[in-house]
Amino acid sequence: MRALCYAESWPLRTTFVISRGARSEAQVVVVEVHGRGVTGIGECSPYARYGESVDSVIGQLQPALDAVAAGLTRTQLQERLPAGAARNALDCALADWEAKCDGAAFAGPESLPTVQTLGIDTPSAMADAARELVEQGVSVLKLKLDDREVLERVKAVRNAAPGAQLVIDANESWPADSLPQRCQQLLDLGVAMLEQPLPADRDAVLSSFPHPLPICADESCHTRADLPRLRGRYEMLNIKLDKTGGITEARALADEAERQGFQLMLGCMLCTSRAIRAAWPLGERVRFLDLDGPTWLARDAQPPLRFAAGRVYWT
Q: What's the pLDDT tens digit per position in 236-264?
A: 999 999 999 999 999 999 999 999 999 99
CA torsion sign for 128, 116, 269, 31 is: negative
pTM as predicted: 0.97
Catalytic sites, residue numbers: 144, 240
pLDDT of 2 above 90: yes
For range 25-54, the mean pLDDT: 98
Confidence band of 135 (pLDDT split at 50, 70, 90): very high
pLDDT of 142 above 90: yes
For range 37-41, the mean pLDDT: 98
pLDDT reported for residue 153: 98
pLDDT reported for residue 108: 86
Q: What's the pLDDT tens digit per position in 74-117?
A: 999 999 999 999 999 999 999 999 999 999 888 889 999 999 99
Domains of the chain, first to last: 2-101 (3.30.390.10), 111-313 (3.20.20.120)
- Which alpha helices (H) appear in the chain, and where do they start and end? 54-68, 74-80, 85-101, 123-135, 150-160, 179-188, 227-230, 241-244, 247-259, 273-279
Confidence band of 52 (pLDDT split at 50, 70, 90): very high
